Amino acid sequence: MNKLSPSILSADFANLGADVKRIDEAGCDWIHIDVMDGMFVPNISFGIPVIKSIRGCTDKLFDVHLMIEEPIRYIEQFKEVGADLLTIHVEACEDVKTTIEAIKKAGLKVGLALNPPTAVDEVIPYMEMVDMILVMTVNPGFGGQSYIDECTEKVEVLRAVKEEYNMDLAIQVDGGVTLDNVNVPLEAGANVIVAGSAVYKGNVEENVKRFKEIFNK
């Protein structure tokens, strides 16, 4: 089953709790939470206290995308405030394996992300250790950018490896996904779709419904 994980980066931060409930009630599967440190990416979003304040707004899985340097430093804090899945960047960790192990040891699910300029070979060695690979389809830092077509091929490669070795892991895409192009990553093998502006722009309920209709086609 394909999953929709709307990014709350595109929500109205003055009404964040209500905007989280809105995607929940509209029928999204996960909640995608973009944490940025102003170092790994050229932007700062929000952090641990904000996640804590919205945890009570929904029971859905908190899919926390850590665009931060050395996320190993904060695993316990993210766990404490209710993160379920921590996705770290392969480019942001001095020791990727140790970071993955630490997240698993904390009892959380773990995802590994790669940026558009990063070769897919960088994450393949970790596929067996993680619950999800996140293929970034924009350079991270901002919502509302355009999908980079060249990244689709990475999804195809990951799907092929996953099938060859019969792996049970999710393949997520994040960045520039809209109702008009979501079929591209889906056909390539992605099964968790992140969408920020395409969910929050216009009618949220209608947007979620239309994504789900495409998933179920």
Nearest to 137 by CA among 112, 158, 114, 159: 114
Q: 180: annotated binding-site residue? A: no
Q: Which of 177, 182, 188, 208 binds ligand DX5 (CB under 6 A)?
A: 177
59 is a catalytic site residue = no
Q: Is 37 near Zn ion (CB under 5 A)?
A: no
**142 marked among binding-site residues:** yes
Name which position in 29, 34, 63, 131 contacts Zn ion (CB under 5 A).
34
Q: Which of 194, 207, 208, 211 binds ligand DX5 (CB under 6 A)?
A: 194
- Identified catalytic residue from 19, 34, 63, 131: 34
Rounded Cα distance between 69 and 158, Å, is 25
141 labeled part of a ligand binding site: yes
From Zn ion, ligand DX5, none, interface partner of 189 (C-beta below 5 to 8 A by class): none
Is 63 annotated as catalytic? no
Residue 71 interacts with which of Zn ion, ligand DX5, none, CB < 5 to 8 Å by class: none
| Continuous segment of H or E residues that includes residue 29 | none
Binding positions for Zn ion, 53-112, rule CB under 5 A: 65
Q: How far apart are CA 203 and CA 208, in angstroms?
A: 9
Q: Is 113 helix (H, G, I), strand (E, B) or coil?
A: strand
Residue nearest to Zn ion (CB): 65
Describe the chain by its helix, strand, coil percentages, rounded to 5: 45, 20, 35
Angle at 150 between CA 167 and CA 86, to 5 degrees: 45
Q: Alpha helices of the chain — where are they, by DSSP H?
A: 16-26, 48-54, 75-80, 96-105, 152-164, 183-188, 197-200, 204-215
As annotated, the active-site residues are 34, 174
Binding residues for a divalent metal cation, as ranges, are 32, 34, 65, 174
| Site for ligand DX5, rule CB under 6 A | 7, 9-10, 32, 34, 65, 138, 140-145, 174-177, 194-198
